[in-house]
Amino acid sequence: MTRVLTGMLLAGVALVPALAEAADAPLSIRSSFRIGDAGVLCTAQIKPTDPRLTSIFDRGYQLTCRDAAAPIGSVVAVRRAVDLAREPSALPMGPLTCRAEEAASIDGIGTVRAITCRDEAAGLDYRRYSVQRGKTQYLAEGLAGYDPALRLALASVVTDKAQPGAVQVATTEVSDPAAFARIQAGSLDAAGARVEAYTRNNAGRFAESAEFFENLAGRDVNEPSSLAEALANQGLQQSNLGNSSAAERLLARAEAASPRSDGVIQRLIRNYRAINQLNQHKPAAAEAALAVNVAPVAEADQAEQIRNGLITPPLSLAINRESATGQQVAELSSNLTPSERAAILDAQATELSAIALRQEKRLGDAEAKLVDARERIIGVREGKVLSARWLLSEIEVERALVAEARGDRAGAVSAFDAAIAALADSFPDSPALLSAKARKAGFLLRSGDEAGGRALFGEVIDQGTSVADSSTALRNLLAPYFDLLARDGTGTAAAAMFRAAQLLQRPGVAQTQAILARQYSAGNDQGSALFRLAIARTREIVRQEGEIGRLEALAERTTAQDQAIAAGKASLEALKAEQVRLQAQLNDYPRYKVLSPQTVELAELQGALRPGEGYYKMMVVGEAIYALAITKEAARPLKLATSGSAMAADVTALRGSIVRIENGEALTEPFDLKRARAMYLTLFGPVDGEVRGLKHLIFEPDGPMLQLPPYLLPATQASVDAYAARIARPNADEFDFTGVDWLGRGRQVSISVGPRSFLDMRAIAPSHARQAYLGLGENAVAFSRPMAAVADECDWPIAMWQQPISAAELKLAEARFGPDRSRLVTGAAFNDAALLQSSEGLDNYRVLHFATHGLVTAPRPDCPARPALLTSFAPDGSDGLLSFREIFDLKLDADVVILSACDTAGSATAAVSREAGIATGGNYALDGLVRAFVGAGARSVVASHWPVPEQFDATKRLVGGMVNAQPGQPLALALEQAQEKLMDDPRTSHPFYWAAFIILGDGAKPLIPTTAIAAGSIAPTGQ
């Protein structure tokens, strides 16, 4: 059998000593720890290079908190006197004016000395605490806005034990665990970052580990072995995330960078190549990868020299990283030698060979290999190295799977329990531990213990909500649980599936909507403006880091480029300092100290649904597809009778029958109604009656359905049969689909990207803009680029600017809203430079409407795709594009943005997102222009899934129907009524003409509110 549920998520070998990671280990022998156990995530990382450390017995920590781009404080433990007011700070700051010293009480350590100082120029307060224990003086200092973190960090370091408590400080919630890991990696020295990278890797925190290795790859460009190691580990993370092709490319780069004589790195790359094959279920290819010859490892053993008193560079670094206790000094001499690293990697290779053999059902050979691998690992420091502990747990999981294949239930349970125990000791509260438990739970279900499996899966889900970065490790392990719940079919099972599904939520537009809701949580006041500025600085930091990385990666650099790197780094430090100050100032607004709930209970969503509304949520887990059909009164879990690849093929075929592009022309085929009906039955057949009874369907797609609007699926077989009978007649028009009972007929449809996002958008305050409408489009025709906008090989051809989209639909909308409450920007005035310069004024409009070309693919196959809207060229030179990055920078306060352009519901790559300063998400539909406009301030976005048609005025009629909505009429209802008119017209009844647009957001909200400020003098249509 294959390893249970696709994607083994094998981690790399942490080639670091076993500095204890267990929950009960003293903090003084750990490289980092969490501050507190609730509230905003803050961590303390050891900082051996702190200049305030003057002896080998001193230690220092820097403190970082989620969403703060730089450290917010520090803690030092030193064997010297500490002047509380004059002790240097680890933070950049101006001259301080300090108040009188006072006494304060901190839980866990009692009375301490305290002082508050102020940087008058920056308008910021700083807080300091000090206490003495024995010969050691402890100092915690940092921004006063982060006082809870300073107190908890000091108490933890003094007691040498993580202290419980909530860090209640302001947060934008703009980052996810991976983005926070990037901040932490940037604030650590290379050795510390490497330890953290491997530790998180082995703990199953793959996305976080990837950020550390990416940071290391940027630092190690001039050190071949270190660069190869970082690139190889980046490749491993990509494999664990399911990107096998990207993994192989990175592994090839690692091999090219690695010195031929470095046997350790060659073994690392060999193993990772095998893992990449195993993650694709290719055991023969994995065995071939493991058979590659690698260089031998030879070294001069330093162990005896160390025992004789020689302080080698690794030992010196370790001494500076740790405080002096007997246990720590004993650990310091345990830095792995090259031969020991090679031995562990060879043991891992043996284990990987066993996995391949098990996949080939050669169980006896697999078991023998596992025994051999275990003996090899125990042979290195008696198996007490951190990486060895993880490998031993992996071997136990493999033993369990072999036992299961042999029908040995007791042996499988025993092996699973051994793996769980090992991980609970070495990696508590980790995705790796949750993964082992989920594997055991799946086995219990398969072996007939339904109650035990269900209970253990429930435990995994409960713990997973508080374990960062658990989604990747669990994504492909939950199918047995979902199978069980779907078979159960009860409301209780639906609630359990609903909760579990939220662990699988991907970052992207959902996170951007959450940030928007948080920004406007109390309207558009000064706090909201400060919040927005903090987010803007965060994006600038990501962009600056990307540009510095791009320049540093150049094989050869000019003097000007070296100067640009130096200037960029100085600017980066200034941006980080300013962003942290802004975060601290947000503490003046208590609403930003309240964390948004990360999960939603089913009852909460049902409470927000109105009569006649239903929420349909899809979940793709491996190849299986599940769904939840939810109404205000009931909920039902489903397993769909299809697979991910089969649905992808169906979606591709349906889109091909809607429109395809040949030689720049949009061509349509007769819509594949039979296939569409089959897809309706697959998705909605088990709940057909409930769906057809809805007035408003909120549809949360996943997988292939992210690329197809659901309302083009036929809801009744009779209408499909009637169409088939009609076109069988002589001279029948097979493009005439009038009479088909589409899902979208008589039914409003909104697109959601997650329950939390939907609730946020339903609750968000409406726009405060006093103008109703801004229409933009019909670019000026251009036959050449301005001199300042010379094209490169990846620019779009100038012909794109020679076929502007007509402003007819914009003029229709302008007439609807009236000249006093609307504005049109067309022709030469519609250029990217003008839009960016006037960005401050764009928030005066509730509705923004773009009628222009959307560029969402790449201009050439070998060029990257960078989503953008086409504009006119600016007089003084521009690229004539409003890019993904530039859209994010716009300042909107819009209820609705209408994108009447081609395929604007498409994706943006993670690389493009990073260029725009967005550290999370990307690579999925709706993560492109839609996400950019949400980030700019749009509560709802109307976007298209394919090129919008001009024939028969189809798009003009659709948009006209929306803007002609009555005050208070739901936007989705206005769109549905406009769509119905096209459905009933034989010329436009093909879905190509009426089904392209979707509404991301809450379509139940009106385009034209009935409030006096927003509606103004707009009269109902016809008056």
Give the residue carrying structure tokens 């088990």.
686
- Measured CA to CA, the distance from residue 542 to residue 211 in angstroms comes to 13
Residue 326 lies in a domain: no
Q: What CATH number has the domain bearing residue 832?
A: 3.40.50
- Measured CA to CA, the distance from residue 844 to residue 890 in angstroms comes to 12
Of 349, 389, 193, 197, residue with least CA distance to 268: 349
Of 914, 907, 898, residue with least CA distance to 856: 907
Are 934 and 843 within one domain? yes
- CA distances to 413, 450, 479, 480 from 444, rounded to whole Å, are 8, 7, 13, 10
Helix H or strand E encompassing 854: strand 854-855
Is the alpha carbon torsion for 584, 589, 594, 596 positive or negative?
A: negative
Of 168, 213, 158, residue with least CA distance to 66: 168
Question: 950 by DSSP, 3-state: which?
Answer: coil
- Measured CA to CA, the distance from residue 962 to residue 970 in angstroms comes to 9
The per-residue pLDDT for 172 is 76
DSSP state, 872? B
In the numeric block, which tokens belong to residue 31? 């490289």
Are 830 and 972 within one domain? yes
Are 661 and 716 within one domain? yes
Are 617 and 742 within one domain? yes
At residue 879's C-alpha, the angle toward residues 874 and 880, to 5°, is 60
- Measured CA to CA, the distance from residue 5 to residue 621 in angstroms comes to 9
DSSP state, 951? G
| H helices present in 280-385, as ranges | 283-290, 303-307, 313-321, 326-332, 338-359, 363-378
- Measured CA to CA, the distance from residue 478 to residue 467 in angstroms comes to 16
- CB of 942 within 8 A of CB of 976? no
Residue 877 lies in a domain: yes
Q: How confident is the model over 531-582, as pLDDT tens digits? A: 888 888 888 888 888 888 778 777 788 999 889 989 998 998 888 888 888 8
DSSP track, 205-251: -HHHHHHHHHHHHHH-TT-HHHHHHHHHHHHHHHHHTT-HHHHHHHH
In this prediction the pTM is: 0.85
Residue 601 lies in a domain: no
Are 744 and 799 within one domain? no
- Measured CA to CA, the distance from residue 337 to residue 320 in angstroms comes to 19
Residue 822 lies in a domain: yes
DSSP state, 525? S
Residues 6+ apart with CB under 8 A from 447: 404, 409, 412
> To 10 degrees, what angle do helices 338-359 and 283-290 make?
150
Count of alpha carbons within 13 Å of 201, Cβ hemisphere only?
A: 33
Give the residue carrying structure tokens 């665990």.
177
N- to C-terminal Cα distance for the chain?
71
Number of domains in the chain: 2
Residue 772 lies in a domain: yes
> To 10 degrees, what angle do helices 363-378 and 386-405 make?
160
The per-residue pLDDT for 388 is 74
- CB of 514 within 8 A of CB of 175? no
- Measured CA to CA, the distance from residue 75 to residue 59 in angstroms comes to 9
In the numeric block, which tokens belong to residue 741? 């009972």
- Measured CA to CA, the distance from residue 933 to residue 904 in angstroms comes to 11
Are 778 and 679 within one domain? no
Are 808 and 865 within one domain? yes
- Measured CA to CA, the distance from residue 607 to residue 630 in angstroms comes to 11
Pairing, β 665-667 against β 660-662? antiparallel
Residue 626 lies in a domain: yes
Residues 6+ apart with CB under 8 A from 734: 670, 727
CB atoms within 10 A of CB 285: 16
DSSP state, 618? E
**Chain-centre distance for alpha carbon 633:** 33
Residues 6+ apart with CB under 8 A from 1007: 847, 895, 896, 962, 963, 965, 969, 971, 974
Sheet with 854-855: strands ordered across: 854-855, 868-870, 881-883
> To 10 degrees, what angle do helices 491-501 and 450-464 make?
40
Domain containing 715 equals: 609-751
Helix H or strand E encompassing 128: strand 124-133
Of 12, 131, 7, 145, residue with least CA distance to 75: 131
Are 872 and 995 within one domain? yes
Of 913, 904, 883, 996, residue with least CA distance to 949: 996
The per-residue pLDDT for 220 is 59
Cross-strand pairs, 666: 661
Are 947 and 820 within one domain? yes
Radius of gyration of the chain (CA): 30
Residue 38 phi/psi, 5-degree rounding, is -155, 170
Is the alpha carbon torsion for 45, 47, 48, 52 positive or negative?
A: negative
- CA distances to 83, 402, 457 from 637, rounded to whole Å, are 63, 32, 16
| Three-state secondary structure of 680-727 | HHHHHHHHHHHHHCCCEEEEECCHHHHHCCHHHCECCHHHHHHHHHHH
Are 781 and 745 within one domain? no
Residues 6+ apart with CB under 8 A from 690: 614, 629, 631, 634
Are 729 and 772 within one domain? no
Are 775 and 719 within one domain? no
Residue 983 lies in a domain: yes
- Measured CA to CA, the distance from residue 421 to residue 437 in angstroms comes to 10
Phi-psi domain of 953 (left: phi exceeds 0; alpha: psi -120 through 50; beta: other): left
SS3 content of the chain, % helix, strand, coil (to 5): 50, 15, 35
In the numeric block, which tokens belong to residue 344? 């562990």
DSSP track, 475-497: TTT-HHHHHHHHHH-SHHHHHHH
Give the residue carrying structure tokens 């034209």.
1008
- CB of 12 within 8 A of CB of 236? yes
Residue 638 lies in a domain: yes
Is the alpha carbon torsion for 725, 726, 732, 734 positive or negative?
A: negative
The ranges of the chain with pLDDT < 70 are: 1-24, 173-176, 187, 202-204, 219-222, 241, 298-335, 386-387, 507, 521-525, 595-598, 664, 787-792, 839-840, 906-910, 917-925, 1011-1023
- Measured CA to CA, the distance from residue 247 to residue 240 in angstroms comes to 9
**Chain-centre distance for alpha carbon 341:** 33
- Measured CA to CA, the distance from residue 886 to residue 863 in angstroms comes to 20
